[in-house]
Every structure is written in C-alpha cells, then in structure tokens.
Amino acid sequence: MKILVVDDNNFSLMYTKNTLIENNINAAPILCDSGKKALEILNATDIDILLLDIVMPDMTGIEVLKKIKADDRFKEMQIIMITSVTDRGTLKECFDLGANDFIVKPIELVEFTARINAAIRARESSEKLENALELTLKQNRKLNEVTRKLKETQSFLIQSEKLAAIGELAAGVAHEINNPMGFISSNFETMTKYIDKFKKLYQAYDHLLENINFTEEENHKDILQEKYSVIEYMENNRIAYVIDDLDDLLKDTRDGIDRVTKIIQSLRRFGRSNVEEEFSWNDLEEIIEESLLITNNETKYSADIQRSYQGLIPVFCNRVQLGQVMINIIINAAHAIKSRHTGERGLITVKTYSEAEKHIIEITDNGPGIRKEIIGKIFDPFFTTKDVGQGTGLGLSICYDIIVNKHKGELLVTSKENMGASF
Ligand SMILES: Nc1ncnc2c1ncn2[C@@H]1O[C@H](COP(=O)(O)OP(=O)(O)O)[C@@H](O)[C@H]1O
Ligand SMILES: [Mg+2]
C-alpha cells in the first residue's frame, strides 16, 4: 500500500509519517508539501491512499480533490481529508466531491490509526473486487468465444445431419420422382399416338371440306363416300374414347408433374443451409405433408400413414428446421417398424391438435418402442442403437435443440415396450 500525505506544514508531515511507522501500519508513506506537487506525484506513481490537507496556500485540498475526481484513473483511490476544527464547514463539500473519510488535526492517535486501517481495508477489498472483475471479464470473453465456436459447430452439425438424411433419402426420393416420371412418359407416348390419329382425321376432314361442291350433282356421291370413310376411320380408331381418355391423360400428367415439382421443392427447401434465423408464419400441417412426401419411399413399403389433422392456425417458426424435425421422427418411426422383422405392415399416425394455446403434433408408431433403460438417453448427441452407417445418433438431439431452444417448445416422448413410441 502506498500512502501519499499532502500537507503544507512540514511538522505535520513528519508527525504523520512517524505515526504511521511507529504504529506498524502496513503502508509506505510518501510526503509532499503542496497540492501541485501532489498532482505530479499522483500522475507518476500508483497511490492507494491519499491523506489530503484542506487548507494549503498555492492549491487547496478541495481544488486537488476536484482534479482527482475528474480523472478516472483515481477512482479506486481512498481519499482522507485532514481538517482542523476551523475548516469543518468545508467537509460537506469534500464528501460531496467524493472524499471517503476525514481526520481532525491535531491528530489523535487512536482515531488516526483506526481511519487509516479502515482505508487500507477498503482499498484492499476494492483491489480484490477489481481483480475478480477482471478475471470475470476475461472468463466471460473466453466463454463468449466458446459459445460462438459451439454455435458454429452446432449449425455445422445440424447441416451435416440434414445432409446425411438427404443422402439416406436420396435413393427413395429418386424412386418417388421416377414413379410419376414413369407414367408421365407413358402418357406422353399414348398422347403422341392420339395426336397422330387426330392429324390423320384432320387431313381427312380437310380433304372432305375441299371436295364439297353443292352445285355439282354427281359430286354428292363422292362426298357421301368420303364421309363414310371418315366415320369408319373414327370408329376404327375409337376417336370418341380417345377424346375421353385424353382428358384423363392430361389430368394424370398434370398431377404427376405437380408431384415431381413438389418433391423437388421440398427437397430443395430442406437442403438449404444458413436459414438458422429465418422465422415466418407457416402451416404446420403443410410442413408435415412435405416431410411425408420426402420420406414416402422410406415408409410406404412397411407402414401405412394415418392422418388426423385439426387444421392448426399458422405458427411463427423456421420451416426448414421444423421439416428436419418431422423427417427425423418419421424416419425413426419407419426404422423402428422395420426393425420388428415381422413382415406385417406397421402404422404411423400423425395427429395435430391445439390444447391450452399449444399447438401439438403427435407422431406415433407401433414399432417395438423404446426400452426404459435407454429412453432417458435418446435425446443425447451421438446416442444411437443403430448400426454404423445407419444412424448418426444426432437426429433427436438436433430435434430437441430445434424445438426446445430455438422454438421454445417441448419435445416429449412416451413409449411402452412392444407397443410403439410417440413423439
Ligand atoms: N420411434 C422410435 N422407436 C424406437 N426407438 C426410437 C424411435 N425413435 C428413436 N428411437 C431411438 O433413439 C435413438 C436415437 O435416435 P436419433 O437421435 O434419431 O438417432 P439415429 O436415428 O441416428 O439413431 C435411436 O437409435 C433409437 O434407438
Ligand atoms: Mg434418427
């Protein structure tokens, strides 16, 4: 501890110094006989406690105090004013300016040592506080850095688990697209044949029109002949049926194209990255339908899907992230059903309803369920019961993060062994 004693009276200075030393007060005194010099010393040296006389000729203690208090560097310094009985009136001003304590001249030993020791303790604890604060700030910075890195890793994980899911789904999605593409192309073949028939019919009509000539009697017979052959052509080529069928084919093809477009749109939307912050109003049932479409090939051979939608109102959410949640839970359900190996078709039920201002989506399967010993672990990152290459173990932990942290919702599971699971 360094104490600076400022007093214009040399006798007082010496007396103060001796008192400090004689009473073993843990502080090294620096003496100074004017306010100006005091400011110079303060600028050059770290002082913990300042003993400051009020009445001094060139610069009063109050003036020094004002300067010190205007400077942030000295804000932790303990300042004790030295006052004689005559200048008590200025004490209030000193406290207003930020002095911590005062000592009355002539100095009374017990009071003096008590006040100095109190100042030392105050300075020590403010120093401790400062150090603690600095440490906290440092740790805080470190923590922020760690959090930032974690966030980066997390969004990377979300994206890579999504890509893994896309990889897993890719074959199925290709199949899903192939199906409608199959009948679109076969419809196209048929329609090409139909158009050919129409072309020929058109030519026959055209010829007929050209030959019609009402003024020449004998021409009538030829026209009639041609008309019969057109009728015959129409009958042989079943033009009435073709016209009917054409409507069906066009509608089928339109539906097929719509389906392919939807699958591609869903997949593209699902695959997008950097959409962490994108929140908007969305129809949850539409997101479920999109997810069922993408996962159709995973589920259709092993399970029926039963929908029970209440018609939820739009919800403010991140569409891609919620899609990721649905897809993982649906695929988990399909995996669970397949893992029974009974050959029987399973059932996946998707139910939506509102209850107490909550929007609830329930995805239930009748697979083997989840054993009691592991149900507490399924939301842990990297927990999986699947073979290497089959599951990353990240799906549900990411679902949990998306629902609970990002959407402030709840993700719950119930399961009875051999009866299935419900999320
Ligand atoms: N519907 C379900 N039925 C039975 N077990 C499930 C079901 N959903 C999840 N699980 C269990 O939870 C584990 C973790 O799931 P998840 O985090 O999606 O990772 P992964 O699917 O890659 O294994 C699965 O390995 C499985 O043991
Ligand atoms: Mg999974």
Residue having the nearest C-alpha atom to atom 24 of ligand 1: 384
pLDDT of the residue at 276: 55
Ranges of beta strands (E only) in 225-345 are 280-282, 303-308, 315-317
pLDDT mean over 89-102? 88
393 CB under 6 A from ligand 1? yes
pLDDT of the residue at 165: 78
Contacts of 61 (CB under 8 A, 6+ apart): 6, 35, 52, 53, 54, 55, 81, 82, 94
388 vs 237, which has greater pLDDT?
237
The domain 2-107 having CATH identifier 1.10.630.10: the answer here is no
What mean pLDDT value characterizes the chain? 89
Domains 2-107 and 275-423 share a fold: no
79's enclosing H/E stretch is strand 78-84
CA–centroid distance, residue 401 to ligand 2 (Å): 14
346 CB under 6 A from ligand 1? no
pLDDT mean over 203-231? 83
Kindly tell me if the per-residue pLDDT of 404 is higher than 60.
yes
Residue having the nearest C-alpha atom to atom 25 of ligand 1: 384
Contacts of 190 (CB under 8 A, 6+ apart): 245, 249
pLDDT of the residue at 180: 87
6 vs 149, which has greater pLDDT?
6
pLDDT of the residue at 253: 93
pLDDT mean over 52-77? 92
The domain 275-423 having CATH identifier 3.40.50.1370: the answer here is no
Q: Where do the structural domains in the chain lie, given as residue ranges?
A: 2-107, 275-423
pLDDT tier at 208 (50, 70, 90 boundaries)? confident
332 CB under 6 A from ligand 1? yes
pLDDT of the residue at 249: 92
Burial class (CB in 10 A: 0-12, 13-18, 19+), 367: buried
Atom from ligand 1 closest to the CA of residue 328: 18
- Highest mean pLDDT out of 16-25, 336-345, 406-415: 406-415
- Kindly report, residue by residue over 335-387, the tens digit of the pLDDT: 999 998 888 899 999 999 999 889 999 999 999 999 999 999 999 988 999 98
CA–centroid distance, residue 343 to ligand 1 (Å): 20
DSSP state of 54: S
CA distance 415 to 423: 9
pLDDT above 90 covers what percent of the chain?
62
Kindly tell me if the per-residue pLDDT of 56 is higher than 60.
yes
